[in-house]
Amino acid sequence: MRIDSLICSRLDRRGIEELRAGGVDAVTVTCGFWEDAAESLDSLVRWRELVTENQDITAIVTSAAEMTAARAAGRLGIVLGFQNSSFLQGRLGYVELFADAGVRVAQLTYNIQNDIGGSCYDPTDSGLTRFGEEVVAEMNAHGMVVDLSHVGNRTSLDAVHASRVPVAVTHANAFELVAHPRNKPFEVLRPLVERGGVVGVTTYHNLTRGFISTPAEWAEMVARTVDELGVEGVGIGTDANQRGTDEYREWMRRGRWSRRPQLGAAPPEGTPPSVRPDWFAGPQDFGRLGDALAERGFADAELQLLLGGNWHRFYDRVIDQERSVRPAWSVSAA
């Protein structure tokens, strides 16, 4: 089972075929960044329409068991996720509603502070708010993964300890290896992994500076991460943006909250730009990641874990079992 824990591509059939060509069995997609509840519902409708139109090669999956079933049927499993909690609009009850609509992953914050907590780019991270604690508990109850990828470090640690099930960083690297505010320090990653969580190391060139020019460099970064966290705590989240436009990137970075240039993960002015690797153009090259890790010396059993086994086990624990509990309002709850 090969799993990519995060892409931000706006998929079409060609994009789905690229993922399948790379051997990817399941992928978490980005349904939104700054959208409110109504816009987010519109996005879910579009994703459902895309899958309906391409149901011969893909399916929306809401559990680890469904990922396995989709793979057996030769279809890409799509996990619906959001890279922000703006779809909640401050309404705790919307967690259950969006979970019922198939959403299984949600990042607590994106690139600015919100009513749940701080982001990785805030100069001061105030930590998980009281509302944030309520949201984490509600996500736990309804089988929605708590994603900390763009979340501030204090808020991240608060969420790790507040959650009664494992949480995730779906797409980031270790800060000690690549010093970037979007990457996570080991003081956050270690307790996350100790509690059963997984970090998806990424191929995004701005977050892998010094470790992306060659497959061997990237594999070395993964190996050092495994040395610190253990092989069962690491997966892959490429953060791929297939054929993304400048307009789309601007929406990611600025949304409607700013009129100033926002760099996101891009290097600041005056810093030499990182170079997109020619050996990894997108999900169609996912197989090269496995080849690089094998050449680095990882055994077959370790490769199975890194390429998707760890994510599959994580989803089985966090998504499948939690959703087996019927809500109190259901006639079958008793």
How far CA 260 is from CA of 120, 181, 254, 257, 299, in Å, comes to: 18, 19, 8, 9, 48
What's the whole-number mean pLDDT along residues 268-274? Answer: 75
How many Cα atoms are found within 13 Å in the side-chain-facing hemisphere of 117? 32
Place of tokens 């591509």: 9
User: 204-229: per-residue pLDDT in tens?
Assistant: 999 999 999 999 999 999 999 999 99
Q: What is the DSSP letter of 198?
A: E
- The two structure tokens encoding residue 105: 């992953």
pLDDT at 324: 61
Q: What is the pLDDT of residues 150-166, one digit of tens each?
A: 999 999 999 999 999 99
Residue 123 to residue 134: CA distance in whole angstroms: 25
Per-residue model confidence (pLDDT) at position 325: 64
For residue 236, list its beta bridge partners: 201
pLDDT band for position 329 (50/70/90)? confident
Copy the structure tokens of residue 11.
Answer: 């998929």
DSSP, collapsed to helix, strand or coil, labels residue 275 as coil
Q: Could you tell me if 28 and 147 are in contact, meaning their C-beta atoms sit under 8 angstroms apart? A: no
Task: Band the pLDDT of 271: cuts 50, 70, 90.
Answer: confident
Any bridge partners for residue 156, and if so which?
none
Tell me the average pLDDT across 67-96: 98
Q: What is the CA radius of gyration of the chain?
A: 18
Rounded Cα distance, 23 and 13, in Å: 16
Contact 60, 80 (CB under 8 A): yes
- DSSP result, 200-228: EE---GGGSTTS-SSHHHHHHHHHHHHHH
User: Average pLDDT of 73-92?
Assistant: 98
Predicted pLDDT of residue 104: 98
Interhelix angle 130-141/153-162, nearest 10 degrees: 50
pLDDT range class, residue 322, cuts 50, 70, 90: low
Give the chain's domains with CATH numbers. 3-324 (3.20.20.140)
